[in-house]
Structure 1
Amino acid sequence: MARVLDLRVDKETLERDVPRLIEHIRPEWDPKTIRLRHFSDGLTNFLVGCYSQADSIDADPSACLVRLYGNNTDLIIDREREKRTFETLHAAGCGPPLLATFSNGCSYGYVPGKTLDVRSVRDDAVYPMVVAAMAKMHGIRDGSPAKPVLFETLDRWIGFCAEIMRDARITDRLENSVVPSEEGLSQELGLLKETLIPLGSPVLFCHNDLLIGNIILNESAGKVSFIDYEYAGYNYRGFDIANHFCEFAGINDVDYNLYPDKDLQMKWLKAYLKETNGKIKQKMRKCKITFFFYLGSESSLDGLYVEVNKFALASHFFWGVWALIQTKYSEIDFDFLGYSIIRFTEYFRRKNEFLSL
């Protein structure tokens, strides 16, 4: 059970604040030997790794991460749900332990390895590991109602956009872009609901943010692990897979020519169906997490291909709206508005093609 600590950690005073945190979660560490490693890949929060027992963070089995929540991220992230997700995934053997929460962040176990990149994510030796890890996560049942978060979240987020789109700094850049108005966002969302809900995509326990930076490859162990569960929860299978495919394009230098072609998708999806179809319910002996495997008698390979590519539109829409909100509130040095424009541009570029499948 994660500890709840009444303290705060600030970026400006990390050298002072982190040892105060560490003494609660790693009391065996000598404060004089604590080392910090800064990570810069996250777009929602500030992240620093902590280690003491080895020369590198990957070599220290007791290493941990300290994450400081981004400004106003509580508007888009349910922190209580994130905490439950951490506990669920750790109990199921799918993630590190949550060690503590504090007033403006949390600390959890470090996963050794390296993040995937635009080359390794499509490697024939690597993507089957991603398939297996995703299938395992999709099999989790934690006892809560399996209600998809996609459209509920988007309905709430679009409600924030009216004020954001009145900001002159934002409207000037949006004037000649394809980003819809608030009314246009609602219309497009209605179209997505009408198109995607009838597909009957199974509602499973999903990561919902499988960008390449959230997948850690441990080559020596021959496996991958997923990190960062802020958006995880029950959702449509098609969204989770499609979102991962969209992230083949990268994030700092986005190139949607890297979106997997049909041949690679079919190999990936065939491996996924092999992992999931025909399996029966299993229970972990040491926890109360039930693993559920969607038998998928109607999940033909061609049908899954159509399902996933239609949900790719929802991925672009989801992160396009997300980036609009981040434009106003985030303190991270990243062009969120530019990223929103990129996602909506790709949404409209592929819209007719994917809807016609």
Structure 2
Amino acid sequence: MKNQARPVIPRRSSSSRSKIHISQSALAPSEQHQGSTTSGGEEEPEVKHVNFHLDNRLPSDYFKQDILKLIHELRIPKWKAVDFSSMAKDILVSRISGALTNAVYCVQPPPYLKGLIKAAHTANVIGGIDQVTGAHVSSLKRTYHYKVPPKLLLRVYGPQAGNLIDRDVELAVIARLSRRKIGPKMLGTFTNGRFEQFLEAKALTKEDLRDPDVSIQIAKRMRELHDGLPLLDEERQKGPSVWKNINSWTEPAKTRLLQLAKKEDGAVQRILGVEDIDAFFKAIDKYKTWIYEHENYTDENIKQDLVFAHNDAQYGNLLRVLPPPGSPLLRPKNEHRQIVVIDFEYSGANPRYFDIANHFCEWMSDYHDEVQPHFIHEDKYPTRSEQLNLIQGYVEHGATEFDDVKIQAEVDSIMQRVREWRPAVNAHWCIWGLVQAALDKTPEEEQAEALSMSEQYKITTSTETGSSDEGEVEEQEDEEGAFDYFAYSAQKAQLFWADLIDLGIIDSADFKGQTKHIAA
């Protein structure tokens, strides 16, 4: 029996976004026309950008249809083989958990496509030679495998991300990293997301962070990132990105808190530990003054202490690549290079101590906890010996000569300064959580949103039938639905206040709110 032709998926019409437009590269101006080169010396093509908003709340078939349309418009290599009219609904799209700011998906071609490509090549073989490619039959497998479209990683930005992240800067950073073969390659961008190279890898777990050998591998990769990607002059001149982020997030964070305070009495006190919002930000300023005086920093000389920092090295952003047999990554000296850092949304110039402190703080979180993924376990902060293990590996990997005295002095210095930069980490993510938090909608707001969605998306049949039918927009399961950003921010504030007390920056008698003290 012959295979039945797959019907064309009915198209939806959108009153606001019915056409896709290709525009210039999404890179920042300073990064445009500076294409990276391949190993053969050829310049890589400029990353394309498409002016289209991808709605991941659509029903599955229509979501897939828009994904494939974007892939074709972005001209992602080898995906032209996936026919839009007959294969769109058969592509595989699976949600990848672990990202808080974005929705992340793995996109794969239809499972049957590989067989079709193989059959097409086999049909062309005459006398052991592929008449289309000229390849000998012995290399046929390699030939058709080469033409199978690769898996893609699709990243759809979260609704609050625009208040947190400068996407132009982020994309420019990714381009620099790609040229140095750090992290996955960017394949194309659109209005609210991008496609990236899919790495065959597994994300580390919270348990992996506590493995001494893995911790040293992370330390080596962190040192290579800090020392291997020189800062641009404009990045260094702007100073530490932690202060830049805090300053840019302050107003939206205050707005969100005031909105909550109107609905809940005592909300500011419950989250920030003080009744006056400005008191929290004044404490940050007091801490900043303290650390600058303590480290003998000025606004100018701190710029010389900056490195390119990831700033979000939590376990979900640390992958272990699964190398094939015979890969150089399997050699003991290269084992640490199996660790790949992803998600550079919050990367930027910072003292290396901030980046290390941030990684240590992430030991306290379990984002996959089914009940309280936002909860911070202060008792899980690395012990002194665990901190020394990572910092020792970090220092030794960057040492130009093995001098025990110099290495120990650097280890001791970094240990102390990591401790002193920890309050900046907790203040930073406290404010981040406030901006990310979404307030519960009133019944009237929910009704208005549902009406807007039903008007915006209409499912239409092909023009041959002349009929139309409305379809509901199905909400995809929200993996981060249980994440309480306000509760997360409250705990970060408690850690911040506790550190200020322990460092002697404020007197415990002057603070009446709750605190979370880290023993290490």
TM over 0.5: yes
1:83 aligns with 2:83: no
- Amino acid across the alignment from 1:305: M
- 1:25-83 CA distance string (max 9 Å, x none): 2434425352112023211111111123879xxxx993221111111422210100100
Q: Are the structure 2 counterparts of residues 257 and 345 from structure 1 closer, same or farther at C-alpha, using a change threshold of 3 Å?
A: same
Q: Out of 60, 66, 70, which is 1:21 matched to?
A: 70
**CA shift at 1:177, angstroms?**
4.3
CA separation in 2, counterparts of 1:90 and 1:196?
34
**CA shift at 1:104, angstroms?**
1.3
Q: What secondary structure does 1:5 align onto?
A: strand
CA separation in 1, counterparts of 2:269 and 2:218?
40
Q: Out of 244, 264, 289, which is 1:152 matched to?
A: 244
1:323 aligns with 2:433: yes
1:176 aligns with 2:228: no
CA separation in 2, counterparts of 1:61 and 1:248?
37
Q: Are the structure 2 counterparts of residues 314 and 355 from structure 1 closer, same or farther at C-alpha, using a change threshold of 3 Å?
A: farther
CA separation in 2, counterparts of 1:163 and 1:142?
33
Q: Are the structure 2 counterparts of residues 114 and 254 from structure 1 closer, same or farther at C-alpha, using a change threshold of 3 Å?
A: farther
CA separation in 1, counterparts of 2:217 and 2:264?
41
Q: Are the structure 2 counterparts of residues 195 and 51 from structure 1 closer, same or farther at C-alpha, using a change threshold of 3 Å?
A: farther
Residue 232 of structure 2 corresponds to: 143
Q: What secondary structure does 2:105 align onto?
A: strand
TM-score with structure 1 length normalisation? 0.86
> Which residues of 2 match residues 297-316 of structure 1 at below 5 A?
300-316=410-426
1:225 aligns with 2:340: yes
Residue 166 of structure 1 corresponds to: 258
> Could you tell me the percent identity over the aligned residues?
22
CA separation in 1, counterparts of 2:486 and 2:288?
25
TM-score with structure 2 length normalisation? 0.60
- 1:264-296 CA distance string (max 9 Å, x none): 1111111111112328xxxxxxxxxxxxxxxx9
- Amino acid across the alignment from 1:277: A
CA separation in 1, counterparts of 2:504 and 2:400?
30
Q: What secondary structure does 1:68 align onto?
A: strand
- Amino acid across the alignment from 1:346: L
Residue 293 of structure 1 corresponds to: none
Residue 290 of structure 1 corresponds to: none
- Amino acid across the alignment from 2:230: R
Q: Are the structure 2 counterparts of residues 102 and 184 from structure 1 closer, same or farther at C-alpha, using a change threshold of 3 Å?
A: same
Residue 286 of structure 2 corresponds to: 191
- 1:104-127 CA distance string (max 9 Å, x none): 111111222111122101212211
Q: Out of 166, 183, 206, which is 2:309 matched to?
A: 206
Gaps in structure 1 of 5+ consecutive residues: 280-295
1:38 aligns with 2:133: no
**CA shift at 1:328, angstroms?**
4.0
- Contact kept? 1:164, 1:170, Cα under 8 Å: no
- Amino acid across the alignment from 2:499: R
CA separation in 2, counterparts of 1:214 and 1:85?
16
Aligned length: 337
CA separation in 2, counterparts of 1:188 and 1:39?
38
- Amino acid across the alignment from 1:148: P
CA separation in 1, counterparts of 2:320 and 2:243?
31
CA separation in 2, counterparts of 1:170 and 1:299?
51
Q: Out of 202, 207, 210, which is 1:114 matched to?
A: 202
- Contact kept? 2:287, 2:500, Cα under 8 Å: no
- 1:225-264 CA distance string (max 9 Å, x none): 0111111111111111100000011232431211111111
Residue 350 of structure 1 corresponds to: 499
Q: What secondary structure does 1:37 align onto?
A: strand
CA separation in 1, counterparts of 2:271 and 2:190?
40
CA separation in 1, counterparts of 2:92 and 2:414?
46
Residue 128 of structure 2 corresponds to: none
Q: Out of 346, 349, 370, which is 1:234 matched to?
A: 349
Q: What secondary structure does 2:212 align onto?
A: coil
Residue 318 of structure 2 corresponds to: 215
CA separation in 1, counterparts of 2:179 and 2:264?
43
- 1:117-143 CA distance string (max 9 Å, x none): 221012122112211211111111153
Gaps in structure 2 of 5+ consecutive residues: 1-45, 113-147, 324-328, 330-334, 368-372, 441-477, 506-519
**CA shift at 1:196, angstroms?**
2.7
**CA shift at 1:182, angstroms?**
2.5
CA separation in 2, counterparts of 1:122 and 1:355?
30
**CA shift at 1:183, angstroms?**
1.1
CA separation in 1, counterparts of 2:47 and 2:271?
45
CA separation in 1, counterparts of 2:92 and 2:106?
8
Flag the structure with larger Rg.
Answer: 2
- Amino acid across the alignment from 2:489: S
CA separation in 1, counterparts of 2:166 and 2:249?
13
**CA shift at 1:336, angstroms?**
0.5
CA separation in 1, counterparts of 2:322 and 2:424?
33
- Amino acid across the alignment from 2:400: G
CA separation in 2, counterparts of 1:350 and 1:212?
23
